[in-house]
Amino acid sequence: MSRLVKKEILVTPKGTRDLFSDELFIRKKIHEKCREIAEYYGFQEIQTPHFEHSEIFEASLGAASDIVEKQMYTFRTRGGDQLTLRPEGTVPIVRAYFEDGMLSWPQPVMLYYVGSFFRHESPQKGRFREFGQFGLEILGEDLAVAEATIIRIFSLILKELGLEAALELNTIGDKECRPAYRKDLIAYYRKHVNYLCKDCKRRLKENPLRLLDCKEESCVELKKNAPQMIEYVCDNCKAHFKEVLDFMDAAEIPYSLNPYLVRGLDYYTRTVFEFVIPPKTPEEKRMEIGGGGRYDYLGDLLAGKPLAAVGGAFGVDRLSELLKEKDGFAEGKRPKVFLIQLGEVAKKKSLCLIEEFRKAKIPLAQSLSKDSLRGQLRLASKLEVDFSLILGQKEAMDGTIIIREMDSGVQEIIPFPKVIDRIKTKAKN
């Protein structure tokens, strides 16, 4: 006897969803574009496991970061291991760099990844608990050209997807110059501690830079007069940042400087960047669709070895949300031709015809399980195809087929073997 699953259980868990139809089609388009450009620029794909030892995230993202404190899906396995569903892509890749011997490859090592990541966050538009990311990492490169390459590729992807986003840049210094800034930042916020939100009061002790990232209104207000890192950067950091900006100018990538851009992770040094959709109305929030930065200390943190590196990632769910709003983006996949068959002989001939179309790479829709002309025509017009092919009893015997233009209703009868050529010509006009 079968036991029915309770209705409440027969749904995806909060913050997750099934992907199919247009949603999945758009996603595949995004992935294709990302892969195409990244591979052209010499990045190779890497796939790491969906879970890792929890410690590598705890050690690198910052014990007090929102991710580690509230958002990681951590579990103990039957064997007693403490594992975490990957909340981001960079840490596993740095782990892989050392584990898989990439240190002995020609440097820099340029990798890209596409996949699912997991964070326990409150779901909102374009944000899910299982979310998609496309990311790039350049490992073993301390020159500003690494930042430039990654930013350049991201802006190319956006452009070719037809999206417009603003690029914001900042430098958050290194271990030479950041301590002095950190000190002044703490002093500033101490003076106003009563206005800080609960989380920021705690962050003030552990990572004051993260206060600049807080979205609470009172904290956003306080930020306006906070000291700015750019006034503290040492000569080396300044020269590096200037070089990044020179590359932006040379590649004609427009940007603006955001002196309070920090990003919510501990491992960043020097350059940080974000691509944002600016709000259209004062009530709307700015929407971050991707970002990244340099992380020269992460290798040291994880493996005790120095590793200069830069990385960044796009949120695929947000890109897909934006593309869904664009007219016609999901249309490319719709077949332009529908095959209608009537009678046993025609049905049998249809199988060969479908295969001919597949070989000719012409998408062809059909419903071989349907028998009536009306039913199939209705389906053809529902799919908004340009042409229907009608293969009736008579045509099947004669070795002909009818091509019907759906808009005008004009029909022509042509020899069966000519149908593909004829469709190709007609589709061009």
CA 277 to chain centre: 15
Indicate the residue among 193 and 373 with the shorter CB distance to Zn ion: 193
| Tokens linked to 115 | 């996949």
Indicate the residue among 237 and 339 with the shorter CB distance to Zn ion: 237
**Considering the complex, what minimum distance in angstroms separates the CB of residue 119 from Zn ion?**
19
What is the four-CA torsion angle of 55, 60, 65, 69, rounded to 10 degrees? Answer: 0
Rounded to whole angstroms, what are the CA distances from 206 to 81, 211, 373, 426?
28, 10, 71, 67
H/E stretch holding 320 reads helix 316-324
Rounded to whole angstroms, how far apart are CA atoms 25 and 332? 9
| Tokens linked to 170 | 């900042």
**Considering the complex, what minimum distance in angstroms separates the CB of residue 89 from Zn ion?**
26
DSSP state of 255: -
Rounded to whole angstroms, how far apart are CA atoms 262 and 23? 32
Rounded to whole angstroms, how far apart are CA atoms 240 and 385? 55
**Considering the complex, what minimum distance in angstroms separates the CB of residue 219 from Zn ion?**
3
**Considering the complex, what minimum distance in angstroms separates the CB of residue 282 from Zn ion?**
21
**Considering the complex, what minimum distance in angstroms separates the CB of residue 196 from Zn ion?**
6
Indicate the residue among 111 and 219 with the shorter CB distance to Zn ion: 219
Indicate the residue among 194 and 281 with the shorter CB distance to Zn ion: 194
Indicate the residue among 88 and 174 with the shorter CB distance to Zn ion: 174
Residue written as token pair 């496309």: 134
Using alpha carbons, select from 183, 160, 142, 144 the residue that is nearest to residue 36.
160
Using alpha carbons, select from 17, 25, 16, 18 the residue that is nearest to residue 324.
25
**Considering the complex, what minimum distance in angstroms separates the CB of residue 292 from Zn ion?**
19
**Considering the complex, what minimum distance in angstroms separates the CB of residue 307 from Zn ion?**
18
Indicate the residue among 235 and 283 with the shorter CB distance to Zn ion: 235
Indicate the residue among 156 and 261 with the shorter CB distance to Zn ion: 261
Which spans of this chain sit near Zn ion (rule: CB under 5 A)? 173-174, 176-177, 197, 200, 214, 216, 219, 234, 237
